[in-house]
A and B are shown apart, each in its own frame.
Chain A
Amino acid sequence: MDVVINGERKQIRGGTLLDVLSELELDPRAVVVEHNRKIVRRAGLGGVQINEGDALELVHFVGGG
């Protein structure tokens, strides 16, 4: 299915948000997920399905002042 991840159009298999992270080879403990502008807690990632056209933001901490 087509979704938008971090501003980029992507083709993914779908499933839960946890499945998406696994497909992208991202450690769920190392990212924070915003699904259609709503933050999804780490513990809830396996309970939220991703749908066609959804927008995900996957963020983490980088160097900054």
Chain B
Amino acid sequence: MTTAVETLRDEPLTIGGRTFQSRLMVGTGKYPDMDTMVRAIEASGADVVTVAVRRVNLDRSKESSVLHFLDPKKIFLLANTAGCYTAADAIRYARLAREAGFNDFVKLEVIGDEETLLPDVAGLLEAAKVLVQEGFKVLAYTNEDLVTALRLEDAGCAAVMPLASPIGSGLGLLNPYSVRTIKRRLHVPVIVDAGVGTASDACVTMEQGVDGILMNTAIAAAQDPVAMAQAMRLATIAGRAAYLAGRMPRREVAMPSSPTRGMLD
């Protein structure tokens, strides 16, 4: 598909020394079936795909691993520490994920509250410091809080991932100002993670100038996940293109687009 963004001289997204083609990253959870997941990932154009670390089901191991359906040569597997509520647990999960042997990237999550799944930023910083020390490329899932984002960058994180809104909520980008501020102040890539509901949310998020966006439920829980994946791909490209193009200034009053002179008497 030809896209307008290709005519703009955009730089590729590089995180922790790896360059990625797509600014859209997608999750692999909650799909109605594996075939739909595979087709949705393909339609999204994403080359970074997140996975979770869980116990092998001793009775039905063959069916449950996501790697039976994804080719790690074609996509970049980004393991997460979803479900971890302490720094120690997140570190344990990250180490297990790295041992799978694909890469040393981790999407670090330390959750602080069950209802909102909002991050425990103290635990997050603690875990990030340990994992960076151990050579991990840490992509830290965090609040849209500038000071935490700065601390995560100082801790050596490869990317900072502020949320648009709570995980799985579909509420969209609740705080564009904060996300924009984080992007303006950080040097490492800023990838907005979680909360996007539909294509316009992805577009608005990318228009803030962030480097990328990661989503799962917005695609997996759509009525047609493959079609939504394509919509998200286009929205991400459109939002990026609009950001690079530079929007017109807002004004409080109208200004005619057609000449005011030359009107009939």
**A binding-site residues for B, Cβ under 8 Å:** 5-8, 24-26, 30-32, 34, 39, 41-42, 57-65
Contact = CB atoms under 8 A, between A and B. Distances in A.
Interface string B87-102: 0000000011101110
Contact of B80 (A34, A39, A60, A64): A64
Given A26-B61, A60-B54, 11 more contacts: A8-B58, A42-B101, A58-B58, A62-B52, A62-B54, A62-B65, A63-B37, A64-B52, A64-B54, A64-B216, A65-B30
Secondary structure dominating the interface of B: mixed
A30 B100 CA distance: 8
A39 to B, nearest CB: 5
Interface of B: 27-31, 37, 50-56, 58, 61, 64-67, 77, 79-80, 82, 95-97, 99-101, 167-168, 194, 214-217
A65 B217 contact: yes
Most buried by B among A5, A42, A62: A62
Contact of B65 (A8, A57, A60): A60
B162 to A, nearest CB: 15
A61 B79 contact: yes
Given A39-B95, A39-B96, A64 B28 contact: yes
Nearest to A6: B55
A7 B54 CA distance: 12
16 contacts: A6-B55, A30-B65, A31-B56, A31-B61, A32-B96, A32-B100, A42-B99, A42-B101, A59-B56, A62-B54, A62-B65, A64-B29, A64-B50, A65-B27, A65-B168, A65-B215
Contact of A63 (B31, B58, B95, B194): B31
Contacts of A63: 27-31, 37, 51-52, 66
A10 B107 CA distance: 33
B99 A41 contact: yes
Contact of A5 (B54, B58, B64, B168): B58
Given A24-B58, A26-B56, A31-B56, A61 B65 contact: yes
A62 B61 contact: no
A57 B150 CA distance: 36
- Counting from the closest, the 7 A-B pairs by CB-CB distance are A64-B52, A65-B216, A65-B27, A63-B28, A61-B51, A63-B29, A6-B55
A41 B95 CA distance: 11
Contact of A6 (B27, B58, B82, B215): B58
B100 A61 contact: yes
Nearest to B51: A61
B80 A59 contact: no
B66 A62 contact: yes
Contacts of B194: 65
Contacts of A39: 95-96, 99
Nearest to B31: A63
